[in-house]
Structures are given as C-alpha cells and as structure tokens.
Amino acid sequence: MSTQSISTASAGAFSVSGLMIVVASELAGAAFLREFLLAEDWRYVVALLAAFGVALVVMQSVPAIERRIENAFAAQRRAATIVAVLLVFAFPFALGGNTYALHLCVIAQLYAVLALALNFQLGSANIPNFATGASYGIGAYASALLALNFGVSFWLALPAAAIVATLSGFLLGLPSMRTRDSYLALVTIAFGVVVHQLLNNLEFTGGPNGLVGIPVPELFGHSFASPLVIFGVQLPSQANFYYLSAVLVAISILFAGRLHNSRVGLAWNALRADDLAARCQGINTTWYKVLAFAVDAFLAGFAGTIYAFYVGYISPDNFTFLVSVTIMTMVIAGGMDNILGVIVGAFLLTLLPEKLRAFSDYRILFFGVTVIAFLMIRPQGIFPQRLRRYGGH
Amino acid sequence: MEAPVVLSGEGLTMRFGGIVAMAEVSFELRRGEILGIIGPNGAGKSTLLNIVTGIYRPSSGEVWLEGERLNGIPSHRIVSRGIARTFQSSRLFTDLSVLDNVIIGRHSRTRSGVFDAIFRRGRADRELAESAAIAEELLKGVSRDLFDQRHRAAGELPQADRRRLEIARALASEPKVLLLDEPSSGMDDADTDALMDDIRAICAARPELSMMIIEHDMRLVAALPHRVMVLDYGQKLADGPYEEIRRIPRVQEAYLGRKAAQHA
Amino acid sequence: MADLLLQQLLNWIVLGSIYALIAVGFSLLFGVLNIIHFSHGDVSFVAPFVALGAVQVMVASLPVAATPGILLLCILLALLLTGILGVVLEVLVIRRFRNAPAMMALVATVALGIVLRELIRHLYPNGSNPHPFPRFVSGEIAIGGVNVSLFAVVAVVCSVAAVVGLFALLNHTRLGLHIRAVSQDRDAARLMSISPTRIFRATFFVASAIGAVGAVFFAGYANLIRFDFSIDVGLIGFSAAVLGGLGSMAGAIVGSLLIAGLDTFVQAVVPNGASYRLVFVFLLVIAVLVFKPAGLFGRTVVEKV
C-alpha cells in the first residue's frame, strides 16, 4: 500500500492540471455531442465525424496523451463525477428547445443502458447474446400490459417489468449451461425470433399493431407530457424523459462499475479467458453464465419500460433481431468491457443513422458498411478494455 | 508415526468410448508429503489429475479427501474442499493482471455476490481489498520478481514466471493438496533449479500441504518427491521412494528408457 | 386424403431440399474457416436477382423471348456469379476476421448480410417490392396416380444431385481432399504445401454456388422473390446446420429435413399454423441444442487438459 501514498503525494502537484484535463475533456465531449445533435447540414456532420476520427487516430498513435487523460480521471474521480453530473443536468438547456435533439438523447441513453446491460455478458464474460432486444421488448410489453390492463402506475410497472424480464433472462440463460459459442449464439437468436413472433401473433399483445395508448407517467402531480420548468426556464416535455433515462444510465454505470470491480466481475473475466481454468479456481461457471443473462435482462427490462411509456405505443417491430444486433455492435464497436467505450458506442450508433438523413434511403446500407469498416479498422473498439487498477496503479 | 492420509484413490478406472485411459489405479497421499508421478506420454498421469479435480468423472473407483467422497462433486466445489491444481500448458487468465489472476484464485475463499457488490459495497470492497493483500503476500512469497510485475497482464510474462503465477494462483485457494502438472515443462535447467527452490520454499512455509507433481524432468523427480508413483498404459507400475523405483527393470524400460536400464 | 398427404410429403421434401442446399454451405464454411459466415443466406439469395435481371437484359437487347431455356441459361450464369461473389466477399471482408474472436466475425457477417440486402434493394430496379419469379419447368406429373407439380420433382432431383455432387467433390477429388485437410488442421495442411487461402476461396465458391441453387429453387417454389427473403431462409439454413452439428454435411441435411418437416406439419395441422411456424421451428432448435449441445451429429469435443 506504500505505492498508494506515493501517488497521493504526487497527486498534489498533479491535481490542478489533472482537474483541468478532466474538466476540459468532459466539456469537449459535451460540446461535441451538442454540435453533432444540432448539426443540420450533412457536410457538417461528416466534418464532425472526421474530427472524431482524427482524435481517435491521434490517441492511438500517441498513447501518452491517452494515458495522461486516463490518469487524470483516475486521480480526480470525484471531481470528474461531479462535473459529469452537472453537464448532463445542464445539457438540455444548451439544446435551445430543439425537441428532436432531446428525443435523440433519450433514445441514445436507453441504448446506452442496453449496451451496458449486454456488456456484462459480451464484454465481461464473452457470452454471445442476440436476444437483448427481446428482453428489452419483454420489459416494454410487460409494463405496458400492466398499465393498460390493470392501471398499474409507471413507477410500479418499472420494477415489475424488470422482474419479468429477469425471469425470462434466467430462462434464456438455462441453455447456456450446456451450449456455447456459435451454438449458444443460435439459441439466443432463436429465443429472440420466438419472442418477436409471439408478440406479433398473440391476441393480448395486440399482434403486429402492438399496444397503443400507454399512459404518460406522473411524478408528484407533474405529468411527463407537460413541459418541464427548471429555474424559470421552460424545457420541452421530452426533458422529463431525458432526466429519467439519464438517471437510469447513471444507475447502470454504477451497477457496471461496481460489478466490474468485484468478485463477480473477476469471475466473469476469468470464464471469458478460460472456462476450464476458471472452474478449477472454484468458480461455478454455469451459475455465472446464467447470472450474466439475468443481469442483462434486468437492465434491458428497465430500458424497455421507459421506452414504452415514453413513446406511448409499442409494436413487435421495435424489438427485432436487428435491434439485438445493433446493441451487440454498440458493445463491440465501443470497446468490450469498457464502460465509457460502450456508452460512446451506443450514442454513436444511435445518432449516426439519424444524422445521415440526407442519405435517407441509404441509411441502413450506410449503417452496415460502417459496422463492417469499424470492425476491420479498429477491432478492439473505440476504447479498448483496460486492466483493473488497485491503489495507485 | 506416519502422517494421516489426506487424499486417496481406490480402483480408479477411466474409459473414453472403447479406450481405457486408466485401469484400477489406487494411491494414497499423506499430509505434508510430496508424491511424484512419472510415466511416458499417454500413461494416464493427466487423466489422474483430471479425475481428482472433478474434470473427468471416473468410470469406476472412488476419490476420498479426508474421509469425504469426491466422486460426482463438480470441479468448482472440489476447489473449496481443498484441492488446487496447475495445468501442463499453463492456463492463465492472460488478459488480466498478474494480481487479478491470484485474486481470482481466492474465489472459493470469498463470498460476495451481485447483491453485495451493488448494495453492500463496503463489505464487498473490504473483502476484495483483503484478497488483494493476501494475493500480494502470496506473490511476494513465491517470487519477489513476480510481485514487482503484478500490474502487468499475465499474458506478457515469460514462461518461467507463468508457472510461478499458476502456482501462486493455486495456493490462493488455501489448498490442503496441491497438484502440479509438469511444472518444469518448457523450462531450461536454470529455470528448473529456480522452480525447485520455489517449491521447497512453499513446502517449508506450509508443512501441512501435500503435493502431487507430474514430472518428466528426472532431476526434479529425484530431488523433490518423498515417494514416486509410476504409471504406464493407465496402470500403476510401481510406487515407492525414487531410489527403489528406479531399480525396477520394467520402470527403467518403460520410462527411463533402455539406455538408463543398461546403466543401472 | 391420400393426395393431400402426398402433397404435404412433397412440400416437406422440396422445402427440406432447399433448406439443405443453404445449410450445407454454412456447415462447409464453418468446417473449413471455423467462423460463422452469417451472410451466407444473403449471398445465396443474390442469385435469383441476377438470374431475373439477366433474363430481362437479354430479352431487351437480344432477339430472344423469355423461354425456359433462356431462363435456365441465366440461372446457370447466376450460380457462377454468386459463387464469384462469395469469393469476392471472402477476399474483401471475411478474410480479415479469420483470427478474430468468433463473435466479431459473427457480427461482421450479420452486417454484411444487411449490406447485401440493401444493395439489392437499391440497385435492382424497384428492389423494395416483390418480383414474380418464373419456373423453368411447369406442368404436372403423375406419381402413384396423383398429379404433382413437375417443378417440385425437378427441384428435389436437382437438389439431391447437387448434394451428391458436393459429396463426390469432397470425397473423391483432389480439391475435396485439400478442403478436408484444411478443415481438419490448417497448419498441417500448410506444411503439406496446400495453400489455405486458395482452399478458402474454393470453398467459398462451392458453398455460395450451391446456396444459390437453393435460393433459385426457393424463388421458383414461391413464384416470387423479394430482397428480404434471405432473412428467414438464411436463418433457417443456419439453424439446420447448427442443429445437425456444424461441420457435418450429413448433419446439415438431417437438420434441414427435420426443420422442413416441422414447418410443413405445423402449417398443415396447427390452426393458424402459418403465423406460428417460426415459433415452433425455433423452439425445436432450442430444445435440440439443450439436449445435444453440439448438434445431432456434432463431435462433442473432450477438452484436452
């Protein structure tokens, strides 16, 4: 532990510039996101993407910069968190009442939650799961059905749907006790198709038309459909869901961080590296695999509920195989087992197709090409996996 | 008076389809004893280790650890009963740090689950910090050099250090019995000498620990084990002190080779 | 009653043969490359569009009518081009994922499938809409006193011939020997001066061309082709290959017949079965994999420790 005291001592001189680095990088990130969201001209969008690409290339070719930023964040964790919270809080004010930009933020944040959920499996434990979209859908349908048929309020439907999704996650995880790799991938694909087909055909889920008229949540008499007034500034009604989903992202980050730096996260990493060797360290790998499925579904269920109550209507086509693939791509492109990377991946892949509306019809094509190009050019993701830090290291 | 038996096998037989990999092998391991296992490739040495650690389920026969029958108990539970092992082809968690590898070795001695990690963080953190401290001590005990590299990825270590790390990881579960599968494979003489010193130091610090070592390097087999068991074609050929077993002609032929047989 | 049963039986075999043609490609590619080429179905389904496009171009530019003969010629051209497309994709994309983690290759090829479908949608005139796909044989034939569609019989016969041809290629030719060598041990094959790269390309050609046969028959069977047909059929072909045990040709065929059987049965017997067919098919897939984790004919690998 002597190393720790050394690093704290040096942190004194380091902290001022460290703090500046932290604040500057977070401000730059927020400013970039704002520009990207508000950009109208596709040429500007492309220029922004190019700038992002250049930043990545610079970081890759000069690792010292990356290390410096990383060390600054590690040394200034509390300050970094406070600044981040303030920025997230202030962000809607900076969008100038642009409801579409705010809407994109909500969707991107929900996808960030889904990507973080999948990251437990795909990133930490390298278990394929092509059914996160299905868990997302199960959460959405469970909460919507509760609200429509039994008048359950959003706040009760939220945990209830998460429990339903978790149970289905356990169910989906059971085959993982025996199958693995491509075979397990197919089991999850099959599960996703079955869920989608059932939603599409069953009477009580409304068939292909889905469910409509999901009531708007209320909190202390404030309807989420009405504009939000903070400090005398009126924000569009989407801001309600912006803050709600931001809280969910924060909770997910907390979950992810704590699990990563725990015995559970280590066990997942161990079975990722070598299943048999993990068993020989006393790890019940079967249980940890099923657990990863359950944790994934739990968070996906939350995201699904918020989505259902946000848009007010859901249909099976919101939860297809393609949605699951998109979430997988977010994790892989962002950086497996890296919380920040996964969130960046989720934002990028949610916003990219929306921002390329100039190519409206070619959006899906462009999406596919981008994914392939990404996997070929930077297979380790935007922010690759890192070794854990203990004490000052 | 002899030390009590810790681990024993009775009539262990292992069939894969039609192939008999192990036939009616029995053995005993006493507290604080080092048992060497030798035999040509395919003699069933690794099979024996896999049966004891629950990776294979024997076709017949029984394994006992201090009066408890181990048959049918899954491998991850066997670790918490007190048997730890290393692998012939060192199977480290290569993309994790050296320290993480050893901390994972303490999995069976720690308890925190998802609930603790999220809602009782103090408790989970304390347990992890404790594991990290124990892991650091273990690394120091096994090799100071390894300790200095504890924040590197395990995959970056040179071969000899990988073996040491595997041993440290196995010791982290506080085993009663440690099984080493060809610890010196891929090492030169100098590395092997260092390894032997390490093993001696480990034994000196843990007089209660029993070991089974599968080895090809006769220098190690001659020096370390109290007793040597010879396997050939899945059967037990001999069992006794090295000085005795090396005189048995069949052993010389089957394992030490004809040359050695002529020398003796 | 009897002819209804025979009709269903024929449906089953036709569907099973078509699935099998796609499934053997998945299995063959996995056996050789050790990665899932998820877009194999999408590659195969380029063929009907090429054939249809070629017919239209020929009719427009040459003094010929769209006779069955011309159609057949165009189909053969499509098979060839689809095989080449497979090789091109291997060279451009899939090659780079050969040593990557399995999931990365899987996601990349899923994306590749999206790209292929979108390309068809945008490049083929009016590509978002379904197009009628002609059959090159029509009429009926009497089997056991029951009239059945001649096309169905031809489809089955051609499928069997293609599969037999594939088996012959694998087991009785030099190329087949090399393919099998590479799939068993890439490095050892290299030491025997077999170039894995060349074998990969050959495998892609063969697999894609055989898949194309399946796709063309599927289009003919449905009398229709649309850019997204490959999603379901590709997924079913993949499932059949996994069900049978990846790498096993016989397994892929058995898996296809099993899935096609359930598919036909559900549509014929279960009320509203057409909507629930995929539910049943994929529940079967899950059930089989739970009890046989490496598929029906897959080798359960005893892990070497």
Eight-class DSSP state of A211:
B
Are residues C77 and C115 in contact, defined by beta-carbon separation less than 8 angstroms? no
User: Is A186's Cβ below 8 Å from some Cβ in C?
Assistant: yes
Are residues A112 and A290 in contact, defined by beta-carbon separation less than 8 angstroms? no
Mean pLDDT, residues A61-65 taken together: 83
Tokens 């007190």 sit on residue: B82
Amino acid identity, residue A344? Answer: V
Which pTM value belongs to this model?
A: 0.90
- CATH number given to A96-377: 1.10.3470
**pLDDT, tens digit, for every residue of C201-222?**
999 999 999 999 999 999 999 8
Question: Measured between CB atoms, which of A258, A267, A387 is closest to B107?
Answer: A267
Are residues B213 and B36 in contact, defined by beta-carbon separation less than 8 angstroms? yes
> Domains of chain B: which residue ranges?
5-263
pLDDT reported for residue C280: 93
pLDDT reported for residue C301: 57
Q: Could you give the CA distance from residue B80 to residue B84 in angstroms, rounded to a whole number?
A: 9
| B–C interface: beta-carbon pairs under 8 A | 8
Amino acid identity, residue A240? Answer: N
Tell me the nearest-neighbour CA distance from B81 into chain A, angstroms.
10
User: Is A262's Cβ below 8 Å from some Cβ in B?
Assistant: yes
Q: Give A-chain residues touching B117 at CB under 8 angstroms.
A: 258-259, 262-265
| CB-based contact A126 C103, cutoff 8 Å | yes
| CB-based contact C302 B87, cutoff 8 Å | no
> Domains of chain C: which residue ranges?
2-137+146-291
Q: What is the Cβ-side half-sphere exposure of residue B189, based on CA atoms within 13 angstroms?
A: 2
pLDDT reported for residue A9: 45
Whether pLDDT at A44 is above 60: yes
Q: Among B83, B28, B21, B88, which residue's Cα sits nearest to residue B58?
A: B21
pLDDT reported for residue C2: 67
- Please classify residue A372 by burial: count the beta carbons closer than 10 Å to its beta carbon, then call 0-12 exposed, 13-18 middle and 19+ buried: buried
The reply to whether ipTM tops 0.90 is yes
Residue C81 DSSP SS3:
helix
> Domains of chain A: which residue ranges?
1-94, 96-377
Under the banding of pLDDT at 50, 70 and 90, the label for residue A14 is: low
**What are the residues whose beta carbons fall under 8 Å from the beta carbon of B240, sequence distance 6 or more?**
B227, B228
**pLDDT, tens digit, for every residue of A95-151?**
888 888 899 999 999 999 999 999 999 889 988 899 999 999 999 999 999 999 998
User: Is B86's Cβ below 8 Å from some Cβ in C?
Assistant: no
Are residues B234 and B21 in contact, defined by beta-carbon separation less than 8 angstroms? yes
Q: Could you give the CA distance from residue B103 to residue B112 in angstroms, rounded to a whole number?
A: 13
A67: which 2 tokens?
């290390």
Distance separating the N- and C-terminal Cα atoms of chain C: 58
Tell me the nearest-neighbour CA distance from A178 into chain C, angstroms.
6
**pLDDT, tens digit, for every residue of C164-173?**
999 999 999 9
Under the banding of pLDDT at 50, 70 and 90, the label for residue A380 is: confident
CATH number for domain B5-263, candidates 3.40.50.300, 3.30.720.210, 3.50.50.60, 2.60.40.10: 3.40.50.300
For the C2-137+146-291 domain, the top CATH level (class) is mainly alpha
Eight-class DSSP state of B256:
I
pLDDT reported for residue C186: 82
pLDDT reported for residue A1: 38
pLDDT reported for residue B33: 94
The strand ranges marked E within chain A are: 218-219, 222-223, 228-230, 233-235
**pLDDT, tens digit, for every residue of C233-253?**
999 999 999 999 988 889 999
**What are the residues whose beta carbons fall under 8 Å from the beta carbon of C44, sequence distance 6 or more?**
C21, C22, C25, C82, C208, C211, C212, C214, C215, C230, C234
**pLDDT, tens digit, for every residue of A294-349?**
999 999 999 999 999 999 999 999 999 889 988 998 998 888 888 888 999 999 88
For residue B7, list its beta bridge partners.
B29, B65
CA B201 to chain centroid: 16
Tell me the nearest-neighbour CA distance from A44 into chain C, angstroms.
25
Mean pLDDT, residues B220-247 taken together: 90
User: Is B55's Cβ below 8 Å from some Cβ in C?
Assistant: yes
Amino acid identity, residue A322? Answer: L
Across A176-190, A372-386, C12-26, which has the greatest mean pLDDT?
Answer: C12-26
Are residues A306 and A111 in contact, defined by beta-carbon separation less than 8 angstroms? no
Q: Could you give the CA distance from residue A265 to residue A390 in angstroms, rounded to a whole number?
A: 15
CA-nearest residue to A369 within chain C is C115
Amino acid identity, residue A153? Answer: S
φ/ψ of residue B81, rounded to 5: -70, -20
**pLDDT, tens digit, for every residue of A252-293?**
999 999 999 999 999 999 999 999 999 999 999 999 999 999
Whether pLDDT at A29 is above 70: yes
Under the banding of pLDDT at 50, 70 and 90, the label for residue B255 is: low
